[in-house]
Chains A and B, each alone.
Chain A
């Protein structure tokens, strides 16, 4: 973190939704920093607020938003203070882009994929149609899609090809930051591996930063420089990939890693009992306490973030070893 320049800095980001049952605290006071040309994986189980976090940063909000506050500094500029139109012109697909969860539905069924990939260049760089298409062809080559697919429609492509097209679309304007929202969860293992290889190459060649949102620990380890773990709308641990995959800090992260099956190890994968708490009126104190094997009386208080060897962890167990952030 120290040697890399900061690209994105999220401070106290909150995103609450109104529902008929009450207020859902999908993203609750999240702090996160990301360096230039860095890949961060955000791990967590379903419903922990991973996707909401990316939506909050990208400002893709549904109608029932209750609270949307905090600061998001992107290349030093607070995007939360921008008006919608300025955000559209200066940030959307210019500084940040998105590879969505289901590329199947992310492509317009009645427009040629080539035109959809080239579109952001025409919108943001006022490129001529011809130049934009040439750029799209170049990007197709980069992500491994045959160039003559430019004139095809989404329904004429396989799932893997669509995902690559979505990737080409996200990279076409060469934004410094790309969100990957479970980009391979609908694909077979071979295609997953292919796409992760493409991602690694692109990260080296084009110097982009990735935020990869996933629950797939095994494949994410391919790409990750750093790992953030989300639990019940909060970030509970931020660690380097190297130390996270061998020795995670937070009890939840430990259990998460223990649940991954490993080759050549006798140890059976374990599972975490219970369910994440409801994000409507979440428990006070540590949100993981109910499921935590090492819970003790202090856990009824809200744990602060402790710094342990420069890594952040939100757990009372580290009150002695770490320093309060």
Chain B
């Protein structure tokens, strides 16, 4: 592999057709292997998720029990003469019959192990099915509709918070790494442990101060009630409701995040080529851009891509505190209701997003780092 790679390096400047062809071959072969590997990973992850969401089959027991209870209550409460006149043995028979029918209708008569593979197949083909208890605001039981309905609020909240946080910590970290040991650096270091408390914890205080005492910002929700008519007013109202939850997320994470980035950049700022760039008389901005950020781009892109896809999961408690109609809260409710199709559906999409991102990152690395070539083993030099 290494010899072949070396040959290609030598051939690269002349761009021989044979070399180009072998490069295409290599990339195709690599992609295929990678897709198969990622597919296996996704299958395992989703199957585990199916098992966990169903408590290894125990959820079926719970549901059989609740069906029996519902049917019994319905029969005993039924005041129509042809049921009221039945003996208790007959009633029992009737209950058994209806329970069996309902169990069969829901597919609960098959053993769980078989049902788990049916779940898996449906999940893998993105046939997310119907929720058992939850209903979307538009009244549909389709898992797809329930999730899609909750997606925009989550994207708005977490998109704003995470992107802001990402770039804030990136640039604060870069700034501190160039001035490490300074007062600002030591303050950030000292404040890093504040990130051990989650966003919702700071959210409580923010609500208390800005909504309850100062009364300048809303307690929660996504827009004013009733929602403003014009688009501009709607956006302004949304912005006003975003301030507190976004601030809570940022306060909870910015110091530790900046500390992380600062340490990361500090390591890369001590490379000899950074000092050479300084000796060459480059400006600080150029050094940061071409000699610190550029060589670390693969890592930064990875962090960014993972930040983007974690948007999918939302955050149950923060969304609950701020009464935000997002995916996190939907997932939290689904868990409470043993609504496995919703839980599995949400995780399936996350698994696919993650696998796709990981697949894409390999190619992005090869684009931004000349030392990395797709399918040519690890880094050289």
Contact = CB atoms under 8 A, between A and B. Distances in A.
Interface of A: 58, 60, 63, 88-89, 91-94, 97-98, 100-102, 105-111, 119-120, 123-124, 148, 151-156, 169
B21 interface: no
Interface in B50-75: none
B163 interface: no
Nearest to B294: A110
Tell me if B's interface is mostly helix, strand, loop or mixed: helix
Contacts of B283: 88, 123
Interface residues of B, number: 28
B281 A63 contact: no
B364 interface: no
A110 B283 CA distance: 19
B179 to A, nearest CB: 9
B277 interface: yes
B273 A106 contact: yes
23 contacts: A92-B279, A92-B280, A93-B279, A94-B281, A97-B279, A97-B280, A100-B272, A105-B271, A105-B273, A106-B276, A108-B273, A108-B294, A109-B273, A109-B370, A109-B381, A110-B294, A110-B370, A119-B280, A123-B281, A124-B281, A151-B13, A152-B13, A155-B380
B369 A110 contact: yes
Contacts of A63: 180-181
Contacts of A88: 281, 283
Contacts of A58: 279
Nearest to B291: A108
Nearest to B297: A110
Contacts of B271: 105
Interface in B121-148: none
B9 A156 contact: yes
Nearest to B372: A110
A146 to B, nearest CB: 11
Interface of B: 9, 13, 180-181, 271-273, 275-283, 286, 290-291, 294-295, 297, 368-371, 380-381
A167 B108 CA distance: 77
A93 B286 CA distance: 15
A211 B62 CA distance: 84
A110 B371 contact: yes
Contact of A108 (B180, B181, B277): B277
Contact of B273 (A60, A89, A107): A107
A106 B272 contact: yes
Contacts of B280: 92-93, 97, 119-120, 123, 169
4 nearest A-B pairs in the assembled complex, by CB-CB distance: A155-B381, A92-B281, A105-B272, A108-B273
B281 A89 contact: yes
A308 B248 CA distance: 75
Contacts of A120: 280-281
Contacts of B272: 100-102, 105-106
Contact of A155 (B279, B290, B371): B371
B295 A109 contact: yes
Contacts of B380: 155
Nearest to B276: A106
Contact of B276 (A98, A109, A110, A152): A98
- Which of A107, A108, A111, A154 has the largest count of B CB atoms less than 10 A from its CB? A108
Contacts of A92: 278-281
B96 to A, nearest CB: 72
